[in-house]
Structure 1
Amino acid sequence: MIDPLRDLASVREATDRLLSAAAGLGDVGTAEPSQLPGWSRGHVLAHLSRNAEALVNVLEGRPMYVSAEAREADIERDAPRPLAAQLADVRDTAARFQAVGAVPADWSRTVELRNGVTDVAARVPFRRLIEVELHHVDLGIGYALEDLPEEFTGREIAFLAQRFSGHADVPPTRIVADTGEWQTGGEDGAPVTVSGAAPALLGWLAGRRDGADLDTAGALLPALPPL
């Protein structure tokens, strides 16, 4: 069962961890490459700030972004800022997201995200938690997939397995970790079992690792669509 208020508390804790870790970067470190191709750490921090604003829009019934072009332009505009400005923006926009989440509301209502994707409002805090946790890893400042909370890792694997479920380009796939098991992919083709440590499975599903450390019993590792 989704608990949005509990997830909001997790978002707050994850944001605090990220801000504390990023505080030691300095302006030079902010300009250095992140683990996301083509993005500096400044791009990652700018994206986190703009994403918080975008999810406030979602919860308040406005379009998530004005347009895809505006989203990209805002990130490029904000990426070169000094570290102090980046951290203040992440902190302030995170506080606004928390404030909107604290307003009594119908969490069962349907909200619209990017590209026509819809979801229940109750899942928006978890979607923000995904952004904060995975992009903390993407900063490349000592926080790895193995450092993610175990509960979060399992929930995110389930979330991504659901996202790829029914996708015609992905063969029927059984995902197996010592902490759980999930099904994903389409219905056509030979089934594939992919097993490994939960952080490694998450890295593959989230496009952060190539899956070389996963076991497929000799089968080809399924190619996943971009997120």
Structure 2
Amino acid sequence: MMDHARDLASVCEATDRLLTAVAALDNADVTQPSRLPGWTRGHVLAHLARNADALVNVFEGRPMYVSGEARDADIERDAPRPLKTQLTDVRDSANRFQDTASLSQDWSRTVELRNGVLDTAAWLPFRRWIEVELHHVDLGTGHDLEDLSEEFTQREINFLAHRFSKHPDVPALTIKQDDGRLLLTGAVEGVTAEQLDSDYRPPLPDLTVSGRQADLLGWLAGRRDGSALHVEGGALPSLPPL
């Protein structure tokens, strides 16, 4: 069961941390490369602002983005802005998201995200939390995956493992976490999505990936190459882009 109110509070706290870190930069810093290939810090900040507005669209029943091309054009347009403008936009758009998400609504309803992805409204605050936390790391201001909370890290690992479950381009594999918990993902034969969400324990795939939580998250989220992970039963697979 998703606790959207708690997730909204977590989004607010994560946004405050990000804004505090960005406020210590200057205009030149915003133009420097981020950790995301081809994006400056300005691109990351512009994306964060436009993503908040896009989720407001979802809450209000509109398409998340007019189109993929429009989304990319908006980010390119806003990326070169000076630091003060970037900070104001990220803060104001975050407030618009919080205000919209705080309204009384049917949290069980189905909503449509980018590329036709369907989800329930209750997941939107967590999705926004993901954006803020991971892109804070992408800014390269000294905040890293190891600095993320244990709760967020575990939930995001679970989320990504579920996202890749039954994916035809990801081989069946077991994720062995550093506390001994196991997660199945990839093209696990004969296992339904409902079973993956339950306590069902099918035979484990031969391919096992294990390591620290931060390294597992980094690999699943496309932020690390997986070289710090331990792999048994085959080679570490390349994961499709998120």
Partner of 1:32: 32
What's 1:45 paired with? 45
Give CA deviations for 1:87-141 in whole Å, capped at 9, x if unaligned: 0000000000000011000000000000000000000000000000000000000
Q: Contact 2:18/2:132 (CA < 8 Å) preserved in 1?
A: yes
2: distance between equivalents of 1:206 and 1:223?
A: 12
The 10-residue stretch of structure 1 (171-180 or 160-169) with the greater mean CA deviation from structure 2: 171-180
Q: Distance in 2 between matches of 1:204 and 1:191?
A: 19
- Output the CA distance in 2 between the equivalents of 1:143 and 1:23: 14
Task: Say what the alpha-carbon RMSD is for the aligned residues.
Answer: 1.0
How far the C-alpha of 1:219 sits from its partner, in A, is 2.2
Partner of 2:202: none
1:183 aligns with 2:184: yes
Tell me the residue number matched to 2:143.
143
Which aligned pairs between 1:197-208 and structure 2 lie closer than 5 A? 197-208=212-223
Aligned to 1:74: 74
The Cα of 1:206 is off from its aligned counterpart by 0.4
TM-score, normalised to structure 2, is 0.92
> What is the letter of the counterpart of residue 2 of structure 1?
M
List gaps (5 residues or longer) in structure 2: 190-204
Q: What is the CA–CA distance in structure 1 between the aligned matches of 2:231 and 2:38, rounded to whole Å?
A: 31
Percent identical among aligned pairs is: 67
**Deviation for aligned residue 1:218:** 5.9
The corresponding residue for 2:54 is 54
Distance (whole Å) between structure 1 residues aligned to residue 173 and residue 206 of structure 2: 6
CA drift of 1:222 comes to 1.5
Any conservation in 2 of the 1:171–1:191 contact (CA below 8 Å)? no
1:192 to 183, 207, 225: 207
User: Gapped runs of 5+ residues in structure 1?
Assistant: none
Pairs within 5 Å for 1:23-172: 23-172=23-172
- TM-score, with length taken from structure 1: 0.98
Per-residue deviation, 1:171: 1.2
